[in-house]
A and B are shown apart, each in its own frame.
Chain A
Amino acid sequence: MSTTPARTVRTGRIQAASAQRTGSRPKRHYGMHIFLLVMAVMWLIPLGWSLYTALRPVASTNEHGYFSFAGDFNFDNFVQAWTQGGFATYFWNSVIITVPAVLLTLFLASLMAFAVSRVSWKFNVTLLIMFTAGNLLPPQVLAAPLFEMAKHFEVPYSFSDSGNMLNTYIIVIAVNTAFQMGFCTFVLSNYMKALSADLTEAALVDGAGIWRQYREIIMPLCRPAFAALGTLQVIFIYNDYFWPLIFIQSGNRLPITTAINNLQGEFLSNYNLLAAGAVITVIPTLVIYLLLQRQFVAGLTLGSSKG
């Protein structure tokens, strides 16, 4: 749906017209604003309340209650939560898992997408269906066999202190990759299909092999798709709670998303610390959101098949 100039003009005219219609009915307009305002405030409450609680020392809330404005406000809870909760370790674990998983996912998905979209052969659609369906399965369905497979995949103790693949980052990375690959393949193959066939035709005339077509022609054109999908995958894998829960047994190897549940046990009955922990965990996602909002949103809508 490429936007031609003519189309834009027409669209603009119609939108302006409809805006005028709306504008001529101020009552409805106000109602809408009030509704949106109320909803927006409600939407902000949970996060706002967490932040508010986190900013108050536990002494203040014990004295004045949580629902009050009295007492001190400072960042002590954040400092304490950070040191006591071991956030630095958890964040680093998240990085160790997320970065390789996203890169691997995109790389493998691009190979597969290239093969099914730019080369026609018998099982194209079958494979694509298999990949897409795999991504839609509830992860719990695969959990037990994957756990057993990891357990029975024996490796030297020098490689993993469990003597198998349990409690390693690798198994989490591998399973995340396998699970997300389906989605990325689906999106990328659609994207690649939309690229003109002339591009590779020309290369063929020059005698370029499959790898060169992939590497030098298709890949550079897919950069926008990679940017969008990459951002999306960073968020998905960073937010993944389940796989580390299954595979990682040592608390100090958990990524932040899975570890925050442990904080509930650790900061027991100290809601101020728990709130600070929650806010700390929100921050990286919000930073990514603010910086790469466009890519993230593009990725989501591009392949809105994701559950």
Chain B
Amino acid sequence: MLLLLKGENMASPFDASATAFPSRRSILKTAGVGAASLAGIPFLAACTGGSAPSATGTDSGGLTFGSGSSDDVPKRAYQAVTDAFTAKTGRKVTTNTVPHNDFQNKINSYLQGSPDDTFTWFAGYRMQYYAEKGLLAPIDDVWETIGANYSDALKKASTGPDGKLYFVPNYNYPWGFFYRKSLWAEKGYEVPETFDALKTLAAKMQGDGIIPIGFADKDGWPAMGTFDYINMRLNGYQFHVDLSAHKESWDQQKVSAVFDTWSALLPFQDPGALGQTWQDAAKSLEAKKTGMYLLGSFVTQQFTDAAVLADIDFFAFPEIAMEGRDAVEAPIDGLLLSKKGGENKAARDFMAYLGTPEAQDAYAAVDASNIATAKGTDTSKFSPLNKKCAETIADAKYISQFFDRDALPAMANNVMIPALQSFIKDGKMDVKNLEAQAKTLYAAQ
């Protein structure tokens, strides 16, 4: 109890009182640093000078490269490309890798702030939008050297709204249902050709205690793949394009039908979707906890075990109402040149380099989950899965990008992501509200 008696005098760390300054003397003894350092006003000048970011490689013959390919495999693949470029030209590439989702989410402020000279991005409206806003540099001169390496369709996909070229395609990848052959053989599952067959198969899997369809939508965008496919299978490719551009309205029967159809599939999709990323869902597929998984072929990047990789196959989204399976969702990834990077010759050289079979082979040597876009790339090392992916894209009559690449960024991010997430939650979709939001947002641009 002696301790208690001394209570008020003891400089307990917690006896600070709001009314008078606590234990003034003890503090006086220990510090004063703050006040002392204040004396030096010149320091302020020193710190502003010192914190100015150093100018980047523009003058030293090198370039900076911003990459949103942050997962291990694609990160190493781009590393291989930049290394090959440096070995060939002697120009240094400084790569800034940002986690995939953050890179996309911050693209606006990135481009307005200090973008790298060249950076990874996507074809589609999502490229044209930033070209239109004057945040990108056109690269028609680069295309003069690499144009022969690409098909007309890819050239068109690289063109901005002003008719100038902005984009250099690197690879694309088809979206489809991926599955493990061994599991399917063991259980006797058959590839479904129609939507009804898909539902029957899913019900069977559920009976076998497997989550039929792997699903992950914590990041918001993956669910758009399901939406796009059902939409294209029900209403056709052109409707997808017009809806994305808001030339078709959202509050029509055709759109409601997409969600009605989807709600038949919802009970078969992983109920934990909203809490997991596609990488988590890929792990579940690998572990045979899920029967199939609708995603782009990049899902195979996660299968580091060669035996698992060899056990992977995929099938196209089944037929529902029209156009059979002619439309394939196969987004194109590649490089853009920022407005600032437009003044850097080395950055243009790097983009031209990426448009060659040589560079794309260097990429594919590390990341075999995607299909190179340039003509003349080495297909001799293609696995059966690679071949199938390439053929699927080659045979497709219509190639869509992806909802978030075909639509206005604000529509995709601010409207569709929360709307799809709540649809996954309760199976309800208010298409009138989608239309109301679309009207405001498209008008605001």
Contact = CB atoms under 8 A, between A and B. Distances in A.
Touch A–B, Cβ below 8 Å = yes
A3 B8 CA distance: 8
B71 A268 contact: yes
Interface in B5-39: 5-9, 11, 13-14, 16-24, 26-28, 30-35, 37-38
B51 A107 contact: no
A210 interface: no
B56 interface: yes
A162 B31 contact: no
Given A249-B113, A294-B13, A297-B13, A170 B279 contact: no
Contacts of A103: 34, 37-38, 43-44
A11 B35 contact: no
A287 to B, nearest CB: 15
Nearest to A93: B51
Contact of A166 (B31, B71, B109, B277): B109
A224 B51 contact: no
Contacts of B16: 294, 297-298, 300-302
A12 interface: yes
Contacts of A250: 53, 96, 114
Nearest to A224: B27
Contact of B96 (A99, A107, A110, A251): A251
Interface in A138-195: 147, 151, 157-164, 166-170, 173, 191, 194
Nearest to A294: B13
A232 B17 CA distance: 16
Contact of A100 (B13, B47, B56): B47
Contacts of B106: 249
A99 B21 CA distance: 25
Contact of A191 (B7, B21, B32, B52): B21
Interface string B36-80: 011001011001101111111000000000000011000000000
Contact of B340 (A163, A229, A262, A269): A163
A301 to B, nearest CB: 4
B380 interface: no
Nearest to A166: B113
A279 B410 CA distance: 37
Interface stretch (A30-38, A74-82, A197-205, A215-223): A215-223
Most chain A CB neighbours (cut-off 10 Å) among B8, B98, B100, B114? B114
B14 A220 contact: no
Nearest to A304: B18
Most chain B CB neighbours (cut-off 10 Å) among A11, A110, A293, A294? A294
A222 B23 CA distance: 13
A288 interface: no
A168 B52 contact: yes
B4 interface: yes
Given A103-B37, A162-B113, A227-B31, A266 B52 contact: no
Interface string A272-307: 000000000000000000001111011011101000
A158 B34 CA distance: 32
Given A166-B113, A223-B32, A249-B110, A161 B98 contact: no
Nearest to A2: B20
A1 B19 contact: yes
A268 B102 CA distance: 13
B2 to A, nearest CB: 9
Contacts of A226: 31-32, 34-35, 38
A190 B203 CA distance: 71
Contacts of A58: none
Interface residues of B, number: 63
A253 B56 CA distance: 13
Given A8-B9, A104-B44, A269-B280, A227 B33 contact: yes
Nearest to B32: A223
B44 A268 contact: no
Contacts of A170: 48, 51-52
A136 interface: no
Given A12-B7, A269-B279, A294-B26, A251 B97 contact: yes
Interface in B332-385: 340
Contacts of B51: 96, 100, 168-170, 173
Contacts of B47: 96, 99-100, 173
Given A12-B6, A265-B100, A298-B22, A293 B13 contact: yes
A20 B277 CA distance: 59
A106 interface: yes
Given A3-B8, A170-B48, A249-B106, A268 B34 contact: no
Contacts of A222: 35
A166 B101 CA distance: 21
Nearest to B20: A1
Contact of B28 (A110, A167, A223): A223
B24 A224 contact: yes
A270 to B, nearest CB: 11
Interface in B87-133: 96-102, 106, 109-110, 112-115
Contact of B21 (A247, A252, A262, A302): A302
B115 A249 contact: yes
Given A251-B96, A298-B23, 12 more contacts: A12-B6, A96-B51, A151-B113, A163-B114, A227-B35, A229-B34, A230-B34, A247-B113, A252-B96, A265-B99, A294-B13, A298-B27
23 contacts: A96-B47, A103-B43, A106-B34, A107-B38, A107-B44, A147-B109, A158-B55, A160-B53, A161-B53, A162-B113, A167-B114, A169-B53, A194-B20, A222-B35, A223-B31, A223-B35, A225-B21, A226-B34, A226-B35, A246-B109, A247-B113, A250-B114, A265-B101
Interface of B: 1, 4-9, 11, 13-14, 16-24, 26-28, 30-35, 37-38, 41, 43-44, 47-48, 50-56, 70-71, 96-102, 106, 109-110, 112-115, 277, 279-280, 283, 340
Interface of A: 1-3, 7-8, 11-12, 15-16, 19-20, 96, 99-100, 102-104, 106-107, 110, 147, 151, 157-164, 166-170, 173, 191, 194, 219-220, 222-231, 246-247, 249-253, 261-262, 264-266, 268-269, 292-295, 297-298, 300-302, 304
Of all A-B residue pairs in the complex, the 7 with the closest CB atoms, nearest first, are: A265-B99, A162-B114, A230-B34, A227-B31, A166-B113, A226-B34, A169-B51
